[in-house]
């Protein structure tokens, strides 16, 4: 037995917000993986609704900033959307993402314009959520991808 005195390391206070977020994700993991994940090729993918649930539990929300028709060139047109992740307490924007749906995309090219517009917005929300908190999806389980499904 050693009689050497060892100074204990103090917890790094800068890591507390991350520890808190990881705790939230771990607490939600059973609900997210059972209700808001889709299995594809041996991996589970979180749907945008599941990622939104995680964001809401952390005090964030997703807002649509812009959706517009775009001519992408070469005869390709479609919808482009931008969404942001907001801190509900401060109003601070903590993330942003964009998404598109083109009119020649299968199966979207045969769907009504309102559905294409909505999917562009969903993709933008998914991208914003993944970019701002996708690293936390790893705490949902080993088989869960760190990208959203839509």
Q: What is the pLDDT of residue 113?
A: 97
Closest CA to 68 of 100, 108, 109: 100
C-alpha distances in angstroms, 30 versus 26, 81, 91, 97, 139? Answer: 8, 31, 30, 27, 11
Token pair of 45 as six digits:
């993918």
Tell how far CA 14 is from the center of its chain.
Answer: 23
Three-state DSSP class for 126? helix
Considering the entire predicted model, what is its pTM? 0.88
List the chain residues with pLDDT less than 70: 1-2, 6-10
From CA 108, how far away is CA 76, in angstroms rounded?
Answer: 13
Distance set, CA 88 to CA 42, 51, 82, 127, 131 (Å): 35, 16, 19, 19, 18
The reported pLDDT for the residue numbered 29 is: 97
Q: CA 119, CA 105: separation in Å to the nearest integer?
A: 12
């Amino acid at each position: 037995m050693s009689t050497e005195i060892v100074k204990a390391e103090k917890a790094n206070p800068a890591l507390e917000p991350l520890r808190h977020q990881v705790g939230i994700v771990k607490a939600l993991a059973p609900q997210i993986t059972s209700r808001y994940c889709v299995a594809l090729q041996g991996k589970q993918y979180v749907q945008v609704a599941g990622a939104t649930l995680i964001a809401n539990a952390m005090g964030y929300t997703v807002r649509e900033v812009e959706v517009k028709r775009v001519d992408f060139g070469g005869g390709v047109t479609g919808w482009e959307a931008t969404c942001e992740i907001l801190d509900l307490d401060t109003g601070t924007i903590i993330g942003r993402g964009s998404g598109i749906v083109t009119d020649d995309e299968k199966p979207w090219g045969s769907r009504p314009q309102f559905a294409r517009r909505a999917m562009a917005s969903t993709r933008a929300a998914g991208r914003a959520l993944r970019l701002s908190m996708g690293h936390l999806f790893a705490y949902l389980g080993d088989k869960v991808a760190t990208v959203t499904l839509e």
